[in-house]
Amino acid sequence: MRLTFFAILLSAFTLTAADDWRSWLNRGIEAYKSARYQEAVEDFQKSIDLSPNEVSPHLYLGTALMTQYIPGAESRENLDYAHHAETEFNSVLQLDYKNLTALNSLASLN
């Protein structure tokens, strides 16, 4: 009886943790759609922290960062957006080397 209870509890915890990264991803998408880019960046990062091997959060994070990047502007903050976006798109390619969105995004950053 106890073993069954703990198995059910462990299963529920695992499902909750798996869904949690998705909820942060969805929150980030909503923030991004509302042009709240910094909030979206934070939400996508939380999603990545919970599930670092998922491609989507890295792709969305890179996109949110790239959206804030202004080509040609040399401020430190602007260059950090570009560098961090590049890092995220490279993370996508490490997980999915054929990801055309990440490849195109890297090309547009350069």
Q: Give 2's pLDDT tier (boundaries 50, 70, 90).
A: low
d(CA 31, CA 25): 10
The pLDDT-based confidence of 22 (bands split at 50, 70, 90) is very high
Structure confidence at residue 12 as a pLDDT band (50, 70, 90):
very low
Residue with token string 């009886």: 1
Copy the structure tokens of residue 93.
């390619």
Is the pLDDT at 86 greater than 90? The verdict is yes
> Amino acid identity of 104?
N
Please check whether residue 74 is in contact with residue 61, taking contact to mean a CB–CB distance below 8 angstroms.
no
> Helix or strand or coil: residue 34?
coil
pLDDT band with cut points at 50, 70 and 90 for residue 1: low
Contact assessment for residue 66 and residue 79, using Cβ atoms and an 8 Å cutoff: no
pLDDT given at position 15 = 44
pLDDT top residue among 21 and 9: 21
Render pLDDT for 41-72 as a digit per residue (tens, 0 to 9): 999 999 999 999 999 999 999 999 999 999 99
- Domain annotation for the chain: domains and CATH numbers: 20-109 (1.25.40.10)
